[in-house]
Amino acid sequence: MDFLNKYASFFEKELQQNSFKLFPSNLYDPLRYFMELGGKRVRPLLTLMASELFSVPKENAIHAAVAIEFFHNFSLIHDDIMDEAPLRRGKQTVHEKWNTNGAILSGDVLLVNAYQQLALSNSKYLKEVLEIFNQIAVEVCEGQQLDMDFETMQIDEVSMDNYIEMIRLKTSVLLGGALKIGAILAGANKENAQLIYDFGENLGLAFQIQDDILDLFGDSEKFGKQIGGDIISNKKTFLVLKAVELGKEKEVESILKLIDKDKKVTTAKSKFQEWGVLEEVNNSKQYYYKKAMNALYEIKVNELLKQDLITLSNQLIDREF
């Protein structure tokens, strides 16, 4: 995402200036480690880009952008505990490298650090920004709870609507909120702030669907994760639920029962293509992508200012990693 360098290098520089305390080291070392694992930094870049969309320099939204990234990383640290994930971005997760207690507490303090960053925002908009941030933070927790609830349910007990609501909460609202906060801090009016939120929320849904696709159909080299991890762990992804929706419930259940992991992944891949699942899921992705673009289109600012967000959106939903 070369064109993003303007935002990305600015953001990384700011992150480095916000270094964590040295003591207690068992509390802050995990945060230094985790934040240095990197990641795409999509969410904070959205905050910065939302500010520039409304013709206010990105510097104005930098603390909120850091807050958003801290929040995202807090949620990853805690999610990794709950999912018992050994790896994140190809490196050990915090609870693996330290221990669960350390990961709980480091995550907690990172969430508070996010609020500390947020408190540095322009006082004029602080209450509004805080309310949006709180709202999305609650929703992300609710999304994670639904995701865990789904684990113990049968595939016919989770409807596509349930799944979309789960990913909306767990993933999309944070993209919407990141943008809305950048817009509010740039003095955007209510209507535009809502539109950019809608853009982000729908983009987030397309983004998550792409994530589900990549998990099975991605290139392991580029994706950086084991291919088929979701299907191996019997996760109810968009693909699985779409297959059920297409009347393949019994067949999907047979696939999920396969013991041999390679065979399970290979079978799912070929069957999901054969049944038209992949095509349908790509259609759904396009549906939300278009909704996002429509919302962006309606925002009343010079069209030229939207170009960065459009380019980023395209890269996000066509990404191979």
In the complex, the smallest distance separating the C-beta of residue 220 from a copy of itself, rounded to whole angstroms, is 28
Name which position in 55, 57, 59, 119 contacts a copy of itself (CB under 8 A).
119
Q: What residues from 24 to 63 belong to the interface with a copy of itself (CB under 8 A)?
A: 24, 26-27
Whether 195 and 298 have beta carbons less than 8 Å apart is answered as yes
Residue whose CB is less far from a copy of itself, 55 or 100: 100
Name which position in 145, 194, 311, 315 contacts a copy of itself (CB under 8 A).
145
Q: Is 113 in the site for a copy of itself (CB under 8 A)?
A: yes
The stretch near a copy of itself (CB under 8 A) out of 31-39, 139-147, 182-190, 242-250 is 139-147
In the complex, the smallest distance separating the C-beta of residue 22 from a copy of itself, rounded to whole angstroms, is 12
Query: CA distances (Å), 18 to each of 70, 99, 169, 196, 221, in order?
Result: 11, 25, 28, 28, 32
Q: What residues from 261 to 290 belong to the interface with a copy of itself (CB under 8 A)?
A: none
Whether 176 and 225 have beta carbons less than 8 Å apart is answered as no
In the complex, the smallest distance separating the C-beta of residue 179 from a copy of itself, rounded to whole angstroms, is 20
DSSP for 144-185, written as a single string? HHHHHHHHTS-GGGS-HHHHHHHHIIIIIHHHHHHHHHHHHH
Listed residue (41, 31, 32, 78) closest to 62, CA to CA: 41
In the complex, the smallest distance separating the C-beta of residue 43 from a copy of itself, rounded to whole angstroms, is 17
**Directed axis angle between helix 62-82 and helix 25-36, to 10°?**
100
Burial class (CB in 10 A: 0-12, 13-18, 19+), 118: buried
Residue type, 113: N
Question: Distance between CA atoms of 215 and 213, rounded to whole angstroms?
Answer: 5
Listed residue (152, 173, 150, 154) closest to 162, CA to CA: 150
Name which position in 100, 294, 307, 314 contacts a copy of itself (CB under 8 A).
100
Q: Is 159 in the site for a copy of itself (CB under 8 A)?
A: no
Name which position in 16, 19, 36, 131 contacts a copy of itself (CB under 8 A).
131
Listed residue (37, 25, 31, 102) closest to 70, CA to CA: 31
Q: Is 116 in the site for a copy of itself (CB under 8 A)?
A: yes
In the complex, the smallest distance separating the C-beta of residue 144 from a copy of itself, rounded to whole angstroms, is 6
Question: Distance between CA atoms of 254 and 251, rounded to whole angstroms?
Answer: 5
In the complex, the smallest distance separating the C-beta of residue 314 from a copy of itself, rounded to whole angstroms, is 33
The stretch near a copy of itself (CB under 8 A) out of 56-64, 144-152, 154-162, 245-253 is 144-152
In the complex, the smallest distance separating the C-beta of residue 96 from a copy of itself, rounded to whole angstroms, is 16
Listed residue (228, 244, 264) closest to 158, CA to CA: 244
Listed residue (71, 312, 66) closest to 204, CA to CA: 312
In the complex, the smallest distance separating the C-beta of residue 93 from a copy of itself, rounded to whole angstroms, is 14
Q: What residues from 61 to 90 belong to the interface with a copy of itself (CB under 8 A)?
A: 78, 81-82
Write out the residues near a copy of itself by the rule CB under 8 A.
Answer: 24, 26-27, 78, 81-82, 100-101, 104-105, 107-109, 111-113, 115-116, 119, 123, 126-127, 130-131, 133-134, 137-138, 141-142, 144-146, 148-149
